[in-house]
Structure 1
């Protein structure tokens, strides 16, 4: 089994640096994908209430026979549940679907900043954290101004900010704002849904190291300290996405990939998205 490095979050909890994302995987297919990932050596699974596949994740986890303390499970609070009490009800519903008594990381999925509801929701996550229903709490798709407002509440600093980040959208300002506050950055859509895999620097690095372009991009993330959650339902790709610890990109290769940044967003913009 591949040894996956761990990232220590600001509350001392450790998270595998590479996990499986299950965005857009139908619930009926999720159990098989998660089972394949766990058998390959993954120990971190990232889902969300809005994905509609927490039940499939939970069934795979239960069937795996793996000890609970070897697994790291992330789920997320959807926009319609942004509120202090609503967050409690939402997590309890997620736990029921997952078949768990706690999650390892609970995130506010989007800030939906037309209102300040994400601030009330954050206080709800703090309650859940204090009760032990989540080992760590964080946010997703938060811009620097949203992070500032959460931190200004004077309570718990988010452990993670999960954002769209890949060679075509490097989100440097947001990542830097997170780092300055002790918040780990986790990349969703780390491969830009495949859109960057034909870029010349990535193809050249893949040839030089005898790996795939996707493996090069994941290695680029890992060498810069980010947590990544590539998604796949194909067993060969699930295994290949984990096989990224046997080579290192050179400084020149990292710089060439860094130069691909072009605001190539594939998902909604956090400043305007309201669900």
Structure 2
């Protein structure tokens, strides 16, 4: 019995075109949506003070949308379209090779690192903020403004440090290793760092989810026994909002990330096109911020009507 003919790069690569165009569309919407969120929150001094971490999260989500738009979407679509027009591509069975340092220098991979880890760290920061607001209300009221800025700066420092490590791996430690085109995150920064990226991103969102629900459980206990009614009235709306954000992050980011994390260890194989569609969950989460960080909040809706 004869074996099935081996597919050329032309046959396999053309299947990615719809995936990349989807990245373009959702990435563009995510970028514009989060830019709008930032504009609305910054347009009011009160909102700017109260929703500092939301502003930071929207910026990070916007960066993620831009990364999918410029790198995974538009840039790779154009590159693949050009390759598909070349006759030699119809007889090739493996992608051209380049140095890892060349891939690491492509700015879109740096955007992916910030776009992945930034929202994760800020989700954790929001969880810490909500937990402290409910568990230690008196102390929280005294240090609220300072806490917002400390958590925001700390999240940025962690993400930038992580990016520096990634660039050091790609440009110094493994700079001469060969990598296949296209320059994905794995080809730019290596297997170890990319695996860490999946785990680190999932950890941030999961920890934020746990802290938010711990705060929700505490405030429900206060409500049941009639304690701290003033705290409950002031914070219950924000707790519910953050719970919804956390749940969406777990569904749209943590679960796909852990799935990708498991696939790194070859427990099973999965078609690359399916993995491509799976990545749509990450940019879809950034696009969904328009509802999560924006219109789900009554204060945001009120400010939009005022600006409009």
Per the normalisation by structure 2, the TM-score is: 0.25
Higher helix proportion, which one?
A: 2
**Which structure shows the higher strand fraction?**
1
Bigger radius of gyration: 2
Answer 1 or 2: higher relative contact order, Cα 8 Å, separation at least 6.
2
